[in-house]
Amino acid sequence: MKNLNFFLLYILLVSFALFLFSSFNLEAFSLNKSTSDLPGGEWKTNTEKRSIELSELRSGGPPKDGIPSIDNPNFVPTKDANNWLKGKEPVISLVLDGEAHAYPLQILIWHEIVNDKIGNIPLIVTFCPLCYSAIVYERIINGMETTFGVSGMLRNSDMVMYDRRTESLWQQLTGEAIVGELTGTKLKRLPSQIISFEQFTNAYNDGFVLSRETGHIRDYGKNPYIGYDDISKSPFLFEGEVDDRLPPMEKVITVSIGKLDRAYPYSITSELHVIHDKVGEQQIVIFHSDGAVSALDKGDISSSKDVGSTGVFEPIIDGIKLNFQYKDGNFRDSETNSIWDITGTALEGELKGKKLKPINHGDYFTFAWFAFKPDTEIFFSE
């Protein structure tokens, strides 16, 4: 009887082990099957959960992490970047809790993502050269911190990112997960702007600049997309419909308030320099000054054409709406004649030291923005 009981127990244990092994293999087979359509490497992404068709994703060339994100960024004071970063070169300017960071596009063009942290705020600084989209997000998802990498995939010519916790795929331009467990989740966006290194230094002389000591060897300062910033060119690897209201490669300043999206063409903003508008109930003022070159023009970025710097702000200080003009290369408000810079800071006059509240905005090639926001209104000057 003892031997019989032992035999039965043995059979039970073996059967259970075979069941677990079979279940594991079925799960692994299902996982491999569900990710087989993703290009560029091995993926753990749950492709059964998605808001797009997988056919919309295409390889941009490099495989998963072939464009390496910067995960342990080093920073130097502005004065220590003078020997390799020219005054008119573009940087992504970000200010949080009084600390200012500049991320040169001559570095971001090679890495596209920087996983950073300012104070207690984990964030990702992203740049897709094909769309000229520079966007900063918090990298907290459902209360948990994660990091992001470059998938190597594109959708509408825009970078597709992935988070390293679930390997869900995220659209860079919208900040939304489009494939994977986190599908439908949106990242919180943080205000930033593209300005010149000189403008950043003048505004934040105690600020910090992302160092070239990235742990990777790249030709920083050189543009691998020579001539791409040309209004007569066609978008790279873009197969969507082109909105004929504007040339696809014209840059636009975009603002989204609630469900309203509005685009302000560079051809207008660079001439007017100041635009007052109202998007929904939100009063805004757009600044566009000279002084920053394109990152996608000449082979040597510092020698590229001047496309200017932009900022979007709420034009209200202490409850008073200000009206701005651009005179003699400066922004001035009519109410006090104070002088303001491109970061929305009053430099001289009665309001010296005051700062306008920044409003999230983007500077993109038109085709990219319209691909995701086809109902966008376009601002045309009278």
pLDDT in the model for residue 7: 35
Are 196 and 262 members of one domain? no
Are 267 and 333 members of one domain? yes
Classify residue 282: in a domain, yes or no.
yes
Are 334 and 280 members of one domain? yes
Structural tokens at position 250:
């014209």
Are 198 and 62 members of one domain? yes
Structural tokens at position 328:
């003699």
Are 58 and 204 members of one domain? yes
Classify residue 236: in a domain, yes or no.
no
Specify the CATH number for the domain of residue 342: 2.102.10
Mean pLDDT for the chain overall? 91
Task: With beta carbons less than 8 A apart as the criterion, state whether 343 and 100 touch.
Answer: no
Task: With beta carbons less than 8 A apart as the criterion, state whether 274 and 331 touch.
Answer: yes
For 62-91, write each residue's pLDDT tens digit.
Answer: 999 999 999 999 999 999 999 999 999 999
Percent of the chain at pLDDT > 70 equals: 90
pLDDT in the model for residue 99: 96
Are 295 and 201 members of one domain? no
Are 203 and 263 members of one domain? no
Are 206 and 273 members of one domain? no
Are 139 and 281 members of one domain? no
Strands 169-171 and 176-179: antiparallel
For 146-197, write each residue's pLDDT tens digit.
Answer: 999 999 999 999 999 999 999 999 999 999 999 999 999 999 999 999 999 9
Average pLDDT of the residues in 213-230: 97
Length of the chain: 382
Q: Work out the burial of residue 356: count CB atoms within 10 Å of its CB; fewer than 13 is exposed, 13-18 middle, 19 or more buried.
A: buried
Classify residue 240: in a domain, yes or no.
no
Are 154 and 302 members of one domain? no
Considering its fold, how many domains does the chain have in total? 2
pLDDT band at 236 (very low <50, low <70, confident <90, very high): confident
Classify residue 223: in a domain, yes or no.
no
Classify residue 177: in a domain, yes or no.
yes
Distance CA 75, CA 259 (A): 37
- pLDDT over threshold 80, residue 11: no
Classify residue 103: in a domain, yes or no.
yes
Classify residue 274: in a domain, yes or no.
yes
Are 65 and 199 members of one domain? yes
For 91-131, write each residue's pLDDT tens digit.
Answer: 999 999 999 999 999 999 999 999 999 999 999 999 999 99
The pTM of the full predicted model, rounded to 2 decimals, is 0.89
Distance CA 277, CA 37 (A): 45
* Side chain identity, residue 382: E
Are 193 and 338 members of one domain? no
- pLDDT over threshold 60, residue 36: no
Query: 342 is in which domain, residue-wise?
Result: 251-378
pLDDT in the model for residue 134: 98
Strands 320-321 and 377-378: unpaired
